[in-house]
Chains A and B, each alone.
Chain A
């Protein structure tokens, strides 16, 4: 974490972030693949994630992580 740059975004920046990562949001608020809208993005724990829940995106295959205590705890312990 310390060696990585933090790129911080607010609520109003989520659409911008999702757009450049090739994602969109369906009519129920879930994050989906822009080029395959039937596919909802999943967290590393296998849960579908809404734009409202989205709090962290990390490396490689672009892990989308919710902002609740358990998700962030697992992220901080390297479990995600």
Chain B
């Protein structure tokens, strides 16, 4: 922790003793003449860098260098403080069990994606917007990461894959390859998908599912528009293709739909 007495010259010593455990926020906005403000609600000491005289600016620079070199502080972008705080606190026993189970099984990359995805799911359950987290996973791990994230959010890892692994490692790997490498065990419909694309993806999965001996595939959708599109596509394809549909989960208030197509 930084010894705030070092800010002598910027902040009166009398004010420092109350704020020894505060965060420090560097403010670069212009205007006003104050060199600092204390926000008691945020437990933050705000330094108005542009208002500091040259000598005090040098003191601030020296404090920052010393605190980083000696591991007394962490420099963090304002936009990421909330996420990092959540990650330090994140310790879900169910998620930890899933991660421990898969640690010796999955590749390091898939396991790390699963860990990120479980955190994302945790946020999703709290009704927090997860679009940026999803994008982070897709950017880092590509389409495979996106598939792991979707399967994880829908509960496939603990509900299907763990029991499968416990009953037959061979069946697990066959399923894992179909789910991850070929992406055919489930279709996650998103708002960007047009009707033709959804129909094509359903047909592709039905064809490959039969070819590789799957007994069913699942179609997932969240949101009114996605649910309507899924139902329309299934209705259209029912006459052409041989499958039976079973609504596994429909929740109108949450706007969530999971349909099983039995092959």
> Which positions in A face B, CB cutoff 8 Å?
1, 3-14, 16-17, 20-21, 54-60, 62, 67-70, 72-76
Contact = CB atoms under 8 A, between A and B. Distances in A.
A56 B28 contact: no
A7 B45 CA distance: 9
Contacts of A5: 1-2, 22-24, 67, 72-74
Given A54-B77, A68-B140, A69-B136, A12 B28 contact: yes
Chain B interface mostly helix, strand, loop or mixed? helix
A59 B87 contact: no
B255 to A, nearest CB: 25
A69 B1 contact: no
Given A7-B75, A70-B116, A58 B80 contact: no
B75 A59 contact: no
Contacts of A60: 69, 71
Interface residues of B, number: 46
B26 A6 contact: no
24 contacts: A4-B1, A6-B24, A7-B2, A7-B23, A7-B64, A9-B25, A9-B26, A9-B77, A10-B77, A12-B29, A16-B49, A21-B65, A55-B76, A55-B79, A59-B68, A60-B69, A62-B68, A67-B77, A67-B80, A69-B120, A70-B136, A72-B87, A73-B119, A76-B88
Contacts of B67: 5, 7
Given A57-B68, A73-B87, A73-B116, A8 B26 contact: yes
